[in-house]
Structure 1
């Protein structure tokens, strides 16, 4: 199983910036510790450097004018405000690498059953604009790259970030080969939402039991409405956590682990490969974010090994 990570995921930001950029290096360090301690068997995974997504790959989801504008640093002040990051060459390299990581994690899933990008989940990026810390929509790019290469035909995107995947919904609106399921906080950003193939907007302070029931119902609806996909892309956001400062939901860490298991069991039930990305997480304590992301990765590795044994 392949897990994709790079130092380039960590973008230099101004002091006091609200995005917890350090979570990416801390998550890599946590996985390294698990490999050294035997918590993860080193024989089961490879940690790999992702390639940068090419222009041709990015253009499967984004407009040429937009790609030129962001690559050349010609974003306006309003563009930068909507994005939430200052422009820099490192930002574009990070965004290309993150998209490349999701592409390669999806390839790994097709071969091994499971793959992971230790960043990604940039679901607010539209075809023609950046938004909400997202430049390129890695999930749509990955889905369309694999479709173009005739490795898959139908892709299910399960978006578990606390914020609706508005960019993903908009880009794929007229694309029946990609089904988008977003389970999110209804009263949270984006305040004007797009229409996914399936949206589950939850009220403030939704806890474990209600969330898991809604997710279970949503996954069952995906199976009915979009049967037999070739691949699942799971955005495993840490921001539904009760301690998240941008979340508005109230899941415990145990509830988030149960969320992950529910998605993985769904994939096993229908014999589906799954690639995961980390998406959001904004708890005041970076340690909480890392613990949640690590649990998602560890659960996926263990589940996939057990799935192989059960076959």
Structure 2
């Protein structure tokens, strides 16, 4: 299973900053040590043209040279630096590469990504560019070169925070279905309309979460016929997350992942996933949740490999 990363680009954040930048390196190291079937590859940066499939040229240029409005930087939550700009491009590039690999192999991943709070002309909530949106648009464009039927993309967003930027980008677009299962009272406090929003109460535990997910996937299947799934596998619904406010156990998170992978597998749908949010009181818990997602993904990657033989 191919997995893409940009962990060599580390942002220098102020002491006490609540974004756990170290989680990406820790995840990569554990995957390399514990899951030899994972084929790690360094992400290439997304180009200006690729980013322009979603983002305004002025915003892309402002991030690249640091001239972006300081108010937008405050909303993003990261100080500008050349490393910040390069990392943002490579995070998008990793999801692009994961989508290409998934369309070929069945399943692939981005160690980071899931930057779903980014709009066409601004970022927010630790998100600079919207990797899933850019990748979806680029896969549709590449697909159209050789096939008559358009590529329809389902974005299954199970980060605990609503994918507001993604929802806005694809509003009114019948070729992309946006599903967001998120905390009702959590960030962002002014939400956008996805194709399907499922709002969960604070303290939601395993069983009601799984029931809500099952109903959501059933509705997605009834309303849409995707050729590619992009899955945002946020670790932040876990009960040990500082920002999540939900109460999923380890078993509940694994059941969530297994249900999404099984849903796609049973329909023969290639799936690319990104790790999205995770802000555990202990960074080790966030990394463990993500490693668990990769363990489940590998089981389904093996099924795809056996199918291809």
Q: TM-score higher than 0.5 here? A: yes
Give deviations 1:256-275, integer Å, cap 9, x for gaps.
Answer: 00000000110012110000
CA contact (8 A) 1:182 1:196 kept: yes
Aligned counterpart for 1:142 among listed residues 135, 140, 154: 135
Query: Which of these residues, 290, 296, 299, is aligned with residue 299 of structure 1?
Result: 296
- Tell me the equivalent position of 1:37: none
2:125 to 129, 132, 139: 132
Displacement of 1:112 in angstroms is: 0.7
User: After alignment, is 120-129 or 6-15 more displaced?
Assistant: 6-15
Is contact 1:9–1:98 with CA below 8 Å preserved after alignment? no
8 Å CA contact retained: 2:6, 2:87: no
SS of match in other structure, 1:56: helix
1:238 paired residue number: 235
| Contact 2:105 2:304 (C-alpha < 8 Å) held by counterparts | no
Partner of 1:203: 201
5+ unaligned residues in a row in structure 2: which ranges?
Answer: 145-149
The answer to whether the 8 A contact 2:120-2:169 is kept is: yes
Aligned equivalent of 2:215: 217
Q: Does the C-alpha gap of structure 1 residues 11 and 210 become closer, same or farther in structure 2, counting only changes over 3 Å? A: same
Query: Per-residue displacement from partner, 1:20-79 (whole Å, max 9, x unpaired)?
Result: 000000001111111xxxxx3x3x431101100000000001111111122121123321
Kindly indicate whether the alpha-carbon contact (under 8 Å) linking 1:127 and 1:171 is maintained by their aligned counterparts in 2: yes
Q: Match for 2:280 among 253, 258, 283?
A: 283
The match for 2:183 is 185
- Alignment correspondent of 1:165: 163
Q: Any conservation in 1 of the 2:105–2:305 contact (CA below 8 Å)?
A: no
Alignment of structure 1 residues 76-155 onto 2, 5 Å:
76-150=69-143, 153-155=151-153
**Does the 8 Å contact 2:242/2:281 carry over to 1?**
yes
Match of 1:63 in 2: 56
Give the C-alpha shift of residue 216 in structure 1.
Answer: 0.7
**Aligned position for 2:147:** none
- 1:297 CA drift (Å): 1.1
- SS of residue matched to 2:87: helix
Shift in Å at residue 7 of structure 1?
A: 2.6
How many positions carry a matched residue from both structures? 303
Normalised to the residue count of structure 1, the TM-score between the two structures is: 0.95
Per the TM alignment, residue 159 of structure 1 is displaced from its structure 2 partner at its CA by 0.1
Shift in Å, 1:304: 2.0
Q: Do 1:102 and 1:116's aligned partners in 2 also have CA atoms closer than 8 Å?
A: yes
Q: Residue 31 in 1 paired to residue 25 in 2?
A: no
In structure 1, C-alpha distance between the alignment counterparts of 2:306 and 2:253, rounded to whole Å? 25
**Cα RMSD after superposing both structures:** 1.3
Is the CA contact (8 Å cut-off) linking 1:123 and 1:167 kept in structure 2?
A: yes
CA shift, 1:5, in A, is 1.3
Given that 1:10 and 1:25 are in contact with CA atoms closer than 8 Å, whether structure 2 keeps it comes out as: no
